[in-house]
Homo-oligomer: A and B are copies of this chain.
Amino acid sequence: MCEANAYMVKNDAETLIMESVDLVEPEGEGAWRLVGIFGDQKIVKGRIRGMNLVDHKILFEE
């Protein structure tokens, strides 16, 4: 499986938001809906700071 883990980055520290993210979709302005491989969902407010897919990381920032 090639899902990724989502992190919030603040002051260069990464805090795990959600593991095993499959889908990332815009949720209105300034927010993203994360959907996990088991259908679990989470809304993240912020911007996408970057992705590192080989490391399975999606980074967000406020």
Contacts and interface: CB of A to CB of B under 8 A. Distances in A.
A54 interface: yes
A21 B52 CA distance: 9
Would you call the interface of chain A mostly helix, strand, loop, or mixed? strand
A49 B26 contact: yes
Contacts of A21: 53
Interface residues of A, number: 21
Contacts of A2: 2, 4, 53-54, 56
Interface of A: 1-4, 21-26, 37, 47-54, 56, 58
8 contacts: A1-B54, A2-B2, A2-B56, A22-B54, A24-B48, A25-B50, A26-B48, A26-B50
